[in-house]
């Protein structure tokens, strides 16, 4: 079935059954492979994208549920929060294997949009649904504080 969705500020026509998870449309039809598959049941956060600025799990979001919403993937991040987060991730060398890191960054950007100066507890709560098998949680927390500092100026 043919439909249109808007991804990274571009409206594209896709061919997918209505119940196809957004993740597979992004990866297989649009070539946006920065978004990862981890669990498929909204339990790990690897597939996190933004839907109208909110962090959502694309592995369980049927593409028919997207409608006219704006989808942003890691490839389309341009906000000041996103730039600060990505710079902090590099500076603090956060990634280990890297597999979970797209999801971590997508969630961190939304956190900083909502809360420009989060405490450790607020970071832990906001990032709770993003699992890292390499246990990079300490560096993730430090990088979010660093990004918050950059944004504060
Ligand atoms: S792959 Fe979507 S939450 Fe794990
Ligand atoms: S960096 Fe390896 S799973 Fe998070």
Digit-coded pLDDT (tens) for 102-134: 999 999 999 999 999 999 999 999 999 999 999
> What are the residues facing 56 on neighbouring strands?
49
Q: Which residues have CB under 6 Å of ligand 1?
A: 37-40, 42-47, 57, 59
Over residues 66-87, the mean pLDDT reads 98
Measure 96 CA to ligand 2 centroid, in angstroms: 5
Measure 62 CA to ligand 1 centroid, in angstroms: 13
Measure 68 CA to ligand 2 centroid, in angstroms: 32
> Considering the chain, what percentage of its residues have pLDDT values greater than 70?
100
H or E element in which residue 51 lies: strand 48-51
66: pLDDT strictly greater than 90: yes
What is the Cα–Cα distance from 10 to 12, expressed in whole angstroms?
A: 6
Atom of ligand 1 lying closest to residue 59 CA: 2
Q: Find out whether 144 and 88 touch, Cβ atoms under 8 Å.
A: yes
Instruction: Quickly state the pLDDT bin for 153 (edges 50, 70, 90).
Output: confident
Over residues 69-81, the mean pLDDT reads 98
Would the CB of 98 count as within 6 Å of ligand 2?
Answer: yes
- Residue 71 has a pLDDT of 98
């Amino acid at each position: 079935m043919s439909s249109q969705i808007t991804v990274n500020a571009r409206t594209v026509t896709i061919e997918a059954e209505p119940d196809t998870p957004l993740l597979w449309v992004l990866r297989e039809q649009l070539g946006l492979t920065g978004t990862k598959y981890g669990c498929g049941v909204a339990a790990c956060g690897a597939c996190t994208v933004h839907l109208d600025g909110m962090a959502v799990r694309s592995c369980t979001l049927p593409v028919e549920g997207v409608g006219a919403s704006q989808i942003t993937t890691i490839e389309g991040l341009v906000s000041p929060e996103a730039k600060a987060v990505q710079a902090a991730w590099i500076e603090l060398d956060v990634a280990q294997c890297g597999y979970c890191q797209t999801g971590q960054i997508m969630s961190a950007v939304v956190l900083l949009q909502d809360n420009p100066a989060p405490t450790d507890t607020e970071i832990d709560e906001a990032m709770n649904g993003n699992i890292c098998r390499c246990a990079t949680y300490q560096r993730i927390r430090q990088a979010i504080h660093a990004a918050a500092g950059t944004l504060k100026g």
